[in-house]
With several copies, the nearest count.
Chain A
Amino acid sequence: MIKKIFIPNRGEIAVRIIRACRELGIISVAAYSQADRTSLHVQIADEAIEIGPPPALESYLNIENVVKAAKESGADAIHPGYGFLAENKDFAAKCRDNGLIFIGPTPESMELVGDKVASRVTVQAAGVPIIPGMLTPQDNISSIITEAKKIGYPVLVKASMGGGGKGMQIVTEECKLKECIEASKRIAKSAFGDDTVYVEKYIEKPRHVEIQVIADHHGNAVHLFERECSIQRRHQKVIEESPSPAINEDIRRKMGDTAVRVVKETGYTNAGTVEFLLDQNRNFYFLEVNARVQVEHPVTEWVTGIDIVKEQIRIANGEPLSFSQEQIRHVGHAIETRIYAEDPEANFIPSPGRISVLREPVGPGIRVDSGIYEGYIVPSFYDPILSKLIVYDSTREKAIERAYSALSSYLIGGIKTIIPFLLNVLRHPEFRSGNLSTSFIQDYQEELFSYPEEEKIPFAALAAYGIYSSSARGPNTPGLREAGLPGVWDTLGGWKNTE
C-alpha cells in the first residue's frame, strides 16, 4: 500500500494531488525549486524538499535530483502531475529501478504513446484513423522539410514528446519552415528535455475532442466520455467542456470504443487521454495519447462523479478499477476556464509578478483548482497557469451563465490575467451556440479582443481614483474611512487642495 507520495511538480496540479493524498490518508511530499519556496504547494503539503535552482531543467526536469529527493523523503510512490517529467519514459524507468511506484503508465507503454510518431504507426495498424503526416522520426531538418513537401502545406510542426501545444506551429509556406522547426526544437528541449519534432497535415477549422481513458493492471480499460477543447490560443487550450456540443450518442460511442482500442493496443495503464481532431464533416482522426492526468480532468470528474487522481493512486496500488464501462454515468454539463497570467490586451504576453489582491469565486456549482494566494509572487520561470475555474450545472446554457458569473467575481489584482478575454469568449454568440473550432479565437478575434474603449472611463473608476488619491494625504485625512486597516495612504497624486 502506498503511504507517502512524492510530487515533483508545482502550482495548481501539485496542490490538487496533495489534496487527494490528504483525503486518502497518504503523506504528501512537495518538491520545489529555489524559485518556489513560497509557492502554495510547499505550504500545504505535509513535507517539502528542495530540488534545485529556478530553471526547470535544473530542478523539476532534473531526473537525478528528483529521484534522489524522492528517496531521501522516504516516499514509496511518485505522482508526476502534468508537464515536466510526467511523460518522460526515462524518468518512469528510473523510478521503477529505484523501487518507487510511478503513478502513471509503464515506461514501455509510455515510450510507445509518448512518441507521437511511433504511436501513430501503432494505432493506424489497429485500424484507427490518423491524420496524414510523418510516420518515422527525423533528426535532420532537411529531411523534415522534404516530408513536409510530400504532405503538402499547410503543415503543423509538433514536438514528438510532451503536449500542451508547446512548440506546435502552423507553417503555410516552405520558406518559414526551418525557422519554425528550430524554435520548436528549442521549446521542446526546454519543456520536455527532448528536441525531436515532426510534421503532419494541418486540418482547417477542426474541433479538438478528446476521450478520457483509465485502465488498471488487471486488463480492465474504460473511457469516461469526451471533453471538447476547441477553444485554444497558440495551440494551448483555454476553455474545455464536457459533453461536447458537437457529437451525438453514436459518434460518442464510436470515439469511446476507438479510445479504448488505442489503450488496449498500446498496453496503456492508469489514466490517460486519447486526443482526436473532428473535421467539419464529423470525421474523427487520432491525434495522440496524453500519458498523464490532463489539465482539464476536472470537467470529466464533475460529469461522471469519478475522482480521477484518486483512481490513479488506487490503480498504482494494484487495485482493480472500481467501476465497469456500463456503470459510468454522464450527468449535466461542466466547463473549465484556465486562468493564465497573461495580458489579453497585449497579445497574451506573460504577466508574472505579485498578486496584490485575490478573491476567488465560491458557491454552488463552482470549483477552483488554484496554485496561488494573496501576496504570492508569480515567478517567470514556469507555465503561466495560475488556477482553473470549473463550473457545473444541469445544461450547457446554465453552465455558461455560471462560468460567466463566477469569472466576473474573480478578482486577481496586481498582475494581468486573461479573465477579460475569457468573458468575451463566454458571451460570444457563436460560443453560446456551440459552433466551435480550434480557429475560433482567430476567426472572431475582432470581437474577442475588443474591450470597452479606454477613452470612455466609467465614472466609477474616475471617482475611485479621485477619492483614493485625494485621501492619500496621510492617516488623518478626513473623508475616506479605513475600517481599521494599516496605512496605505502614503502617496499623493497631482491633486490640489482648493479649500
Chain B
Amino acid sequence: MKFEAKIKTGKNALRETRIEVLDKAGKFLVQAGELNEIVDAEIIGPGILSLIIEGKSYLVHITEGKNQKSVFLAGREYIFNEGEDAPELIQAGPGKFEGKIKAPMPGSVVKINGKEGDIIAAGQVLIIVEAMKMENEMRAPVEVRIDKIMVREKEQVEGMQVLMEVSEVEKK
C-alpha cells in the first residue's frame, strides 16, 4: 500500500512525499526530496513515535489540532497544516494583523482602550490580555478605527479568539 502527499515546507518549497508500507510490520519506505529511506516506526504512546532511520534513533511526538498536526522533534516543533488543499507547513507564532485583533494566548482581558468608533493612533495600545501574570499589549499597527469590540474587561478568552475588529483609517 502506498500513500503520497504534497507538503509545503516553509514559504515556497513544495515537497512531494511518498510512503510505502513494506511487508515487515513497522517498516516503511519513505521518499521525500532526494532522500529515500527505510523507516522503522513504532508507536510507543499516544502520539509518540520511535523512529529508526539508517541506524539513527529519533523520538517524535505528534499532537493533533484542528486541521493541523504538530511534530515535536529534538526540542523543536514543526507544524503541518491540513486545510482544504494539500498539507501545508505554516509558521508558528502569533497571527498576522488582518483587521482582526486576536488573543495571542488563553487568558483574561485586563484593559480595553477606547470604544467602538474611536480612532487609535499607530503604536498605541488597543487592548491588554493577561495570562500567567504576563500582560500582553496589542497595539495598533497603523492608525485604525475600532469597528467592533467582542469582549469585556475581566473576560476569559481563548487563544486566537477575536477580541476586536479594526480598520485602517484612510490617509487623505
A and B touch in the complex (CB under 8 A): yes
A positions within 8 Å CB-CB of B: 29-30, 37-38, 42-49, 73, 166, 183, 186-187, 190-191, 234, 341-343, 345-353, 356-357, 373-376, 380-384, 407-408, 411, 413-414, 416, 419-420, 423, 451-470, 478-483, 485-486, 488, 491, 493-499
- Within 8 Å CB of A383, what residues of B? 132-133
Query: A73 contacts B59, CB within 8 Å?
Result: no
Query: B73 contacts A350, CB within 8 Å?
Result: no
- Within 8 Å CB of A42, what residues of B? 50, 52, 57
Query: B7 contacts A462, CB within 8 Å?
Result: yes
- Within 8 Å CB of B51, what residues of A? 460, 463-464
Interface-centre pick from A187, A374, A384, A464 (highest chain B CB count, 10 A): A464
| Nearest-CB residue, chain A, relative to B15 | A462
Q: Does B76 contact A (CB under 8 A)?
A: yes
Query: A357 contacts B48, CB within 8 Å?
Result: yes
Query: B30 contacts A187, CB within 8 Å?
Result: no
Known contacts A455-B13, A462-B15, A464-B49, A493 near B39 by CB under 8 Å: no
CB < 8 Å neighbour of A479 from B26, B58, B93: B26
Query: A494 contacts B5, CB within 8 Å?
Result: yes
- Chosen A-B contacts, 19 in total, with CB atoms closer than 8 Å, are A187-B135, A191-B133, A350-B136, A356-B61, A381-B108, A455-B11, A456-B9, A465-B7, A465-B78, A466-B7, A468-B69, A478-B1, A480-B42, A480-B43, A491-B64, A493-B69, A493-B87, A497-B3, A498-B4
Query: A420 contacts B76, CB within 8 Å?
Result: yes
Q: Does B122 contact A (CB under 8 A)?
A: no
> How far is B29's CA from A499's CA once the two chains are assembled, in angstroms?
14
> How far is B114's CA from A282's CA once the two chains are assembled, in angstroms?
49
- Within 8 Å CB of A353, what residues of B? 106, 159
> How far is B160's CA from A81's CA once the two chains are assembled, in angstroms?
34
- Within 8 Å CB of B60, what residues of A? 460-461, 464
Query: A463 contacts B69, CB within 8 Å?
Result: no
> How far is B40's CA from A86's CA once the two chains are assembled, in angstroms?
29
> How far is B26's CA from A166's CA once the two chains are assembled, in angstroms?
35
Q: Is chain B's binding surface mostly helix, strand, loop or mixed?
A: strand
Query: B19 contacts A45, CB within 8 Å?
Result: no
- Within 8 Å CB of B135, what residues of A? 183, 186-187
Interface-centre pick from B3, B61, B69 (highest chain A CB count, 10 A): B3
> How far is B53's CA from A351's CA once the two chains are assembled, in angstroms?
32
> How far is B7's CA from A166's CA once the two chains are assembled, in angstroms?
43
- Within 8 Å CB of B9, what residues of A? 454-457, 462
Query: A499 contacts B93, CB within 8 Å?
Result: no
- Within 8 Å CB of B72, what residues of A? 411, 413
Known contacts A349-B136, A352-B106, A416 near B77 by CB under 8 Å: yes
Tell me the count of chain B residues lying within 8 A, CB to CB, of chain A. Answer: 81
Known contacts A43-B44, A346-B92, A48 near B57 by CB under 8 Å: yes
Interface-centre pick from A38, A43, A374 (highest chain B CB count, 10 A): A43
Q: What's the minimum C-beta distance from B49 to chain A, rounded to whole angstroms?
A: 5
Query: A190 contacts B47, CB within 8 Å?
Result: no
Query: A483 contacts B47, CB within 8 Å?
Result: no
Q: What's the minimum C-beta distance from B143 to chain A, rounded to whole angstroms?
A: 19
Query: B92 contacts A345, CB within 8 Å?
Result: yes
Query: B62 contacts A454, CB within 8 Å?
Result: no
Query: B37 contacts A356, CB within 8 Å?
Result: no
- Within 8 Å CB of A375, what residues of B? 44-46, 48
- Within 8 Å CB of A407, what residues of B? 75
> How far is B46's CA from A234's CA once the two chains are assembled, in angstroms?
36
Contacts of B67-116 to chain A: CB distance below 8 A: 69, 71-78, 80, 82, 85-87, 89, 91-94, 104-108, 110
> How far is B2's CA from A203's CA once the two chains are assembled, in angstroms?
63
Q: What's the minimum C-beta distance from B103 to chain A, rounded to whole angstroms?
A: 10
- Within 8 Å CB of B104, what residues of A? 346, 349
| Nearest-CB residue, chain B, relative to A464 | B60
> How far is B56's CA from A463's CA once the two chains are assembled, in angstroms?
13
Query: A341 contacts B132, CB within 8 Å?
Result: yes
With A496-B5, A498-B2 given, name 12 new contacts (CB 8 A).
A43-B50, A349-B136, A350-B107, A357-B46, A384-B134, A414-B63, A420-B76, A460-B56, A461-B60, A466-B19, A480-B42, A493-B82
- Within 8 Å CB of B17, what residues of A? 462, 466
Known contacts A470-B3, A480-B43, A46 near B57 by CB under 8 Å: yes
Interface-centre pick from A383, A384, A480, A496 (highest chain B CB count, 10 A): A480
- Within 8 Å CB of A29, what residues of B? 55
Q: Does B150 contact A (CB under 8 A)?
A: no
> How far is B4's CA from A73's CA once the two chains are assembled, in angstroms?
32
Interface-centre pick from B46, B48, B132 (highest chain A CB count, 10 A): B132
Query: B43 contacts A494, CB within 8 Å?
Result: no
Known contacts A464-B51, A464-B73, A465-B71, A350 near B105 by CB under 8 Å: yes
> How far is B33's CA from A482's CA once the two chains are assembled, in angstroms?
28
> How far is B44's CA from A44's CA once the two chains are assembled, in angstroms?
13
- Within 8 Å CB of B7, what residues of A? 462, 465-466
> How far is B132's CA from A166's CA once the two chains are assembled, in angstroms?
11
Query: B55 contacts A73, CB within 8 Å?
Result: yes
Q: What's the minimum C-beta distance from B59 to chain A, rounded to whole angstroms?
A: 5
Query: A479 contacts B82, CB within 8 Å?
Result: no
